[in-house]
A and B are shown apart, each in its own frame.
Chain A
Amino acid sequence: MPSFANIWSRIVEWFQDRQDRKRLLLGFNKSAKEAFVNGYAPVILEARVSKGNRAYKHQFSDSFNSGFRIKAHAGYQLSKNDTINIGKVVLSNDLLVRRLVVLGFDTLEVHSDVGSHGCQWQLHDFIMIGQGGQDDE
Chain B
Amino acid sequence: MNDSLQMAADSLAQASQQGNSLNWWMIIAIVELVIIVVLLLSKGKTDDKKRSIKRQVREEGDINFGNVIASSFGAKALYDELIRKCHPDRFAPDEEKVAIANDITERLGKYKHDLEKLNELKEEAIDTLGI
Name A residues whose Cβ lies closer than 8 Å to a Cβ of B. Answer: 1-2, 7, 10-11, 13-14, 20, 24, 27-28, 30-32, 34-35, 40-42, 45, 59-60, 63, 85-86, 88-90, 92-93, 95-96, 98-99, 101-102, 129-130, 134-135
B-side contacts of A92, CB under 8 Å: 112-114
Determine which of B41, B50, B54, B117 lies in contact with A2 in the assembled complex, contact meaning CB atoms within 8 Å: B41
Q: Fill in one digit per residue for B23-55: 1 if any A CB lies within 8 Å of its CB, else 0.
A: 000000000000000011101101000110110
Q: How does the 8 Å CB contact mask read for B95-106 relative to A, with 1 for contact and 0 for none? A: 000000000000
Residues of B in contact with A (beta carbons under 8 Å apart): 39-41, 43-44, 46, 50-51, 53-54, 56-58, 60-63, 65-66, 68-76, 110-114, 117
A35 partner residues in chain B, CB cutoff 8 A: 66, 69-70
The DSSP consensus for interface residues of chain A is helix
List the B side residues contacting A89 at CB < 8 Å.
68, 71-72, 75, 113-114
Contact B69 A31 (CB under 8 A): yes
Selected from A40, A60, A130, the residue in CB contact (under 8 A) with B70 is: A40
Establish whether residues A41 and B73, one from each chain, have CB atoms under 8 Å apart when the complex forms: yes
Query: Closest 8 A-B residue pairs measured CB to CB?
Result: A31-B65, A92-B113, A35-B69, A40-B70, A89-B113, A86-B72, A102-B57, A89-B71
Q: Interface on chain B toward A: helix, strand, loop, or mixed SS?
A: helix
In the assembled complex, which residues on chain B have CB atoms less than 8 Å from the CB atom of A11?
40
CB distance from B56 to the nearest CB of A (A): 8
Tell whether, in the assembled complex, residue B41 and residue A28 are in contact, meaning their CB atoms are under 8 Å apart.
no
Docked complex Cα distance between A135 and B63 (Å): 10
Enumerate chain A residues within 8 angstroms of B39, measured Cβ to Cβ: 63
Q: Please, how many angstroms separate the alpha-carbon atoms of A6 and B50 in the complex?
A: 14
Interface pairs (10), CB distance under 8 Å? A2-B40, A7-B41, A24-B63, A34-B66, A45-B69, A89-B68, A90-B68, A92-B113, A93-B68, A102-B58
